[in-house]
A = this chain, B = another copy of it.
Amino acid sequence: MTVVIAVPGTEKHARDLATRLGATVVTPEIRQFPDGEVYVRIDADLANHEVVLVGSMHGGDKFLLIAFLAGTARDLGARRVGLVAPYLAYLRQDTRFKAGEGVTATYFARLMSSTVDWLVTVDPHLHRLDSLDHVYSIPTAIARAATSIATYITSEIEHPILVGPDAESVQWVAAVAAVCKAPYQILEKTRRGDRDVSISAPSGPWNGHTPVLIDDIVSTGKTMIEATRQLRAAGSAPPVCIAIHAVFADAVNDELVSAGAKGIVTCDTIPHVTNKICVADSIADAVRARLG
């Protein structure tokens, strides 16, 4: 038997996943003591069950809560405890760029690996690392959003041309293009700081197409905003922006529209008002493979 446990904020994911797995959903009791410490209780029979925790790791601030739920599930007799983190934090700093820097990708993965038995995530932000296995010592599996994004584009956008705002985005853009059989173009980006980027767009291929800007993470939105400006300056129609992980504040949609975009649409890996693309099928496939 499989039991899905929802970390607060990801109840919808937990229900979507449990439906697909034919599993039960359990909502844990979680409260804070007056001094900020967290109390957890799982009021369910977990003895010899496969337990699947569902919780996005946006910002990493849910780490202790997930570790406490995993520990509780184990104490209650769970056979294995896995984590579905639709968004996985701490993949950015995967090497030492400057003397003395902490390689937080390694430290975070080591802690997570000591906490759960396996991990499933959606399109993690891997660039220098070519696999989660370089930092995670537990079995991991990656669910891909490409098919869900391609389905959305095919049903909602006429004559799309997919656009990657920078070289790193080619992996997401090419995968979506392969499914929806649309042409694609990758722009060139120069980064001058956490919040400062410049992008150049060719004047070529926009005529008669709707550009669909695709990236894995939108955070400050600066890359998407600058790409939108350059596309419009190069004569394109208003682009539709698509992000897999909505790591951004609500204002970013307005800023994109001001820059000349139609707006932004996201996958539902982080709960956000712009979520339009459900990736539950892909997550359920990856979890089924894990549970064996």
Contact B101 A40 (CB under 8 A): yes
Contact B37 A100 (CB under 8 A): no
- Among A83-105, those with CB < 8 Å from B are 89-90, 92-93, 96, 98-104
- Among A31-70, those with CB < 8 Å from B are 33-44, 58-61, 63-64, 67-69
- With A101-B40, A102-B72 known to touch, is A35 a contact of B64 (CB < 8 Å)? no
Contact of A194 among B33, B103, B217 (CB under 8 A): B33
Residues of chain A whose beta carbon lies under 8 Å from any beta carbon of chain B: 29, 33-44, 58-61, 63-64, 67-69, 71-72, 75-76, 89-90, 92-93, 96, 98-104, 106-108, 110-111, 114-115, 194-195, 217, 219-220, 247
22 contacting pairs across A/B (C-beta < 8 A): A34-B195, A34-B220, A35-B59, A35-B219, A37-B89, A37-B93, A38-B60, A38-B104, A39-B101, A41-B101, A43-B99, A44-B100, A63-B64, A67-B111, A68-B108, A71-B110, A72-B100, A72-B102, A75-B103, A111-B111, A111-B114, A111-B115
Contact B60 A63 (CB under 8 A): no
Residues of B with C-beta under 8 A to A37: 59-60, 89-90, 92-93, 104
How far does the alpha carbon of A110 sit from the alpha carbon of B102 in the complex, in Å?
22
Residues of B with C-beta under 8 A to A111: 64, 67, 111, 114-115
How far does the alpha carbon of A217 sit from the alpha carbon of B36 in the complex, in Å?
14
Contact B220 A104 (CB under 8 A): no
Q: Chain B residue with minimal CB distance to A74?
A: B107
Please provide the 4 A-B residue pairs with the shortest distance between their CB atoms, ordered closest to farther.
A36-B59, A72-B102, A71-B107, A40-B102
Copies in the complex: 2
Contact of A102 among B35, B61, B71, B114 (CB under 8 A): B71
Contact A247 B35 (CB under 8 A): yes
Q: Chain B residue with minimal CB distance to A247?
A: B35
Residues of B with C-beta under 8 A to A42: 100, 102
Contact A107 B67 (CB under 8 A): yes
How far does the alpha carbon of A228 sit from the alpha carbon of B114 in the complex, in Å?
46
Distance in Å: Cβ of A287 to nearest Cβ of chain B: 23
Distance in Å: Cβ of A63 to nearest Cβ of chain B: 6
How far does the alpha carbon of A119 sit from the alpha carbon of B44 in the complex, in Å?
35
Residues of B with C-beta under 8 A to A100: 29, 41-44, 72, 76
Q: Chain B residue with minimal CB distance to A103?
A: B75
Contact of A68 among B43, B104, B219 (CB under 8 A): B104
Distance in Å: Cβ of A181 to nearest Cβ of chain B: 33
- With A35-B58, A60-B36 known to touch, is A103 a contact of B247 (CB < 8 Å)? no
